[in-house]
Amino acid sequence: MNNEKLTMCMGIGLVAWMTAGFAEAHTSYGGTARDLGTVTNAAVTPYFKTINTVQTVTSDFGWAAGTGVSYGDAHHIRAYRFKLTDWSLANIRIEVAVRGDGAQVFLPGFSLYSGLLHTSGGSDYDTAPVTLAYLDSLGGKNGAFNALGVMKIGNDAGLLSTLNYVGNAADGTSANFGSAARIHGDGLADGVVEGTFWLPAGDYSVLVGGANLAGMDSTGRYGINATLSAIPETSSVALAVLGSVILMRRRGRDV
């Protein structure tokens, strides 16, 4: 996606935000609505939680736009959170729910970060003065969403959240999400994508959006279900699964 199109998309997104109301303008976890929970090693049993309430993103390209050097508009991203109390093998699965009013097929993509957005003192958003000052220090960007690296976005209290990039997964191939380096495509554009990560204890954020780089729908509603499953560090099964993940990636999951 070229800079002209990214600028146009952000402009459309800001207009849509202004007409949709205050709540849509901020990047947050929706209170507890998108909290995937806490994984604890107190029990050896695997953890599983799905959020399949009415959660949507507002474009078919929002995640893919964030893979460019000019970043993307965070208004088109939905944020989820979870917490690990010990090292765990965590699997994140995003799939299309009942489709809203968008005209194109929704292909999901997500980025995983350690760290959290602000949950008090005001939510973070692209056009907060502190966010704009940070983006200006980088030479100017189209938005705060960085799908492939460290992301910083702030609130009206003048505080920046720092999300440290861990990894990503995208539905489809480079024909769908583009040719940016380090995108982990699943090779099949079917509305489902998942990734498995070996993670230390801490708080994590999952930012989800559309992975269709050529998409033009900035106002449609695309339904998403999100699932977190995890195996505690003490499980020998985790090591076996980790080995299979390494082998899988060696065979070439990047498409």
pLDDT digits (tens, 9 = 90+) for 241-255: 545 444 444 334 444
Q: What is the pLDDT of residues 127-171, one digit of tens each?
A: 999 999 999 999 999 999 999 999 999 999 999 999 999 999 999
The pTM (predicted TM-score) of the whole model is: 0.82
Backbone Cα Rg of the chain: 17
- CA-to-CA distance for 93 and 109, rounded, in angstroms? 10
Residue in the structure block whose two tokens are 């209170």: 31
Residue 100 phi/psi, 5-degree rounding, is -90, -135
β 88-96/192-199 pair status: antiparallel
Closest to 221 (Cα-Cα) out of 72, 20, 6: 20
pLDDT of residue 1: 40
If pLDDT is split at 50, 70 and 90, which confidence band does 53 have? confident
232 — pLDDT class (breaks 50, 70, 90) = confident
Are 199 and 183 a contacting pair, CB within 8 Å? no
- Judged against a pLDDT cut of 60, whether residue 45 lies above it is answered with yes
> Buried (b) or exposed (e) across 65-79, using 16+ Cβ within 10 A?
bbbbebbbbbbbbbb
Contact 229, 47 (CB under 8 A): yes
CB 183 within 8 A of CB 64: no
